[in-house]
């Protein structure tokens, strides 16, 4: 009678060091790929954001035909050609005759979900905000995102007085030129916009009063 002999082969498990090394190399290559893609796409992303910002300037400053990028430095506004945007940058808007209409100001602050970044048009001679656009927001879809989707809310910023300080009121109860009707169901996001505007005005209203 023939007996089948079963042979067992000793398969060595890969060593821990080898496994760690393999995973480390894979992680390194993935990281390099991500950084490479970021570096390649960064100029395109930057150009797109600049284009969107430029378009927004014309929206928040009605009647503007030409714009100029300015930077506040050592107590005065200076023309700037920098591609970077910081909290000292604003945009001057001019009509067809080269007359100054107003300024477009970027501002940022905490929202309900994350930071909200806005751009608003300001007329220093009239102390009025005449337009507001949300540049970046991650507010809750269907609620907080109404800060840029709700037509009634956006209407608040077409002739909004900055003095006295802008205040938020219950929707439908607005009775003064410095008041903003809140969005029903999105009070926190509404408050965030008002707070961002007031904080920016504290810095810019006095600066621009002499221009």
Can you tell me the mean pLDDT for 127-137?
96
| Closest by Cα among 48, 45, 46 to 85 | 46
pLDDT at 206 over 80: yes
Helices and strands in the chain, H and E counts? 4, 9
Residue 133, strand partner residues: 119
- The least confident of 4-8, 108-112, 183-187, 200-204 is 4-8
Whole-structure pTM value = 0.76
Which of the pair, 107 or 78, is modelled with greater confidence? 107
pLDDT at 53 over 90: no
- Where helices occur in the chain by DSSP H, the ranges are 16-60, 146-149, 151-155, 187-208
Residue 129, strand partner residues: 122, 160
CB 110 within 8 A of CB 116: yes
Q: How far, in Å, CA of 120 to CA of 57, rounded?
A: 8
Q: How far, in Å, CA of 103 to CA of 123, rounded?
A: 7
Q: What is the pLDDT of residue 85?
A: 72
Give the model's confidence band at 52: pLDDT under 50 very low, under 70 low, under 90 confident, else very high. confident
DSSP for 62-74, please give it: TT--EEEEEEEET
| Closest by Cα among 176, 168, 163 to 209 | 163
Helix (H, G, I), strand (E, B), or coil: what is residue 209?
A: coil
- C-beta neighbour count of 131 within 10 angstroms: 22
Share above pLDDT 90 across residues of the chain, in percent, rounded to a whole number: 59
pLDDT at 148 over 80: yes
Q: How far, in Å, CA of 61 to CA of 123, rounded?
A: 9
């Amino acid at each position: 009678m023939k007996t089948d002999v079963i042979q067992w082969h000793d398969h060595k498990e890969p060593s821990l060091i080898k496994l760690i090394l393999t995973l480390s190399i894979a992680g390194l290559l993935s990281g390099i790929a991500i950084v490479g893609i970021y570096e390649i796409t960064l100029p395109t992303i930057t150009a797109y954001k600049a284009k969107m910002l430029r378009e927004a300037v014309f929206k928040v400053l009605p009647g503007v035909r030409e714009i100029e990028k300015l930077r506040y430095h050592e107590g005065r506004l200076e023309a700037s050609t920098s591609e970077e945007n910081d909290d000292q940058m604003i945009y001057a808007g001019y009509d067809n005759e080269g007359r100054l209409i107003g300024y477009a100001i970027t501002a940022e602050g905490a929202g309900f979900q994350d930071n909200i970044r806005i751009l608003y048009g300001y007329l220093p001679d009239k102390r009025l905000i005449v337009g507001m656009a949300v540049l970046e927001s991650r507010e809750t879809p269907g609620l907080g995102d109404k800060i840029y989707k709700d037509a009634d809310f956006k209407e608040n910023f077409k002739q909004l007085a900055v003095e006295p300080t802008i205040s938020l009121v219950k929707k439908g109860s607005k009775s003064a030129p410095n008041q903003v009707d809140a969005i029903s169901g999105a009070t926190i996001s509404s408050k965030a916009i008002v707070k961002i505007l007031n904080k920016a005005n504290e810095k810019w209203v006095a600066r621009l009063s002499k221009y």
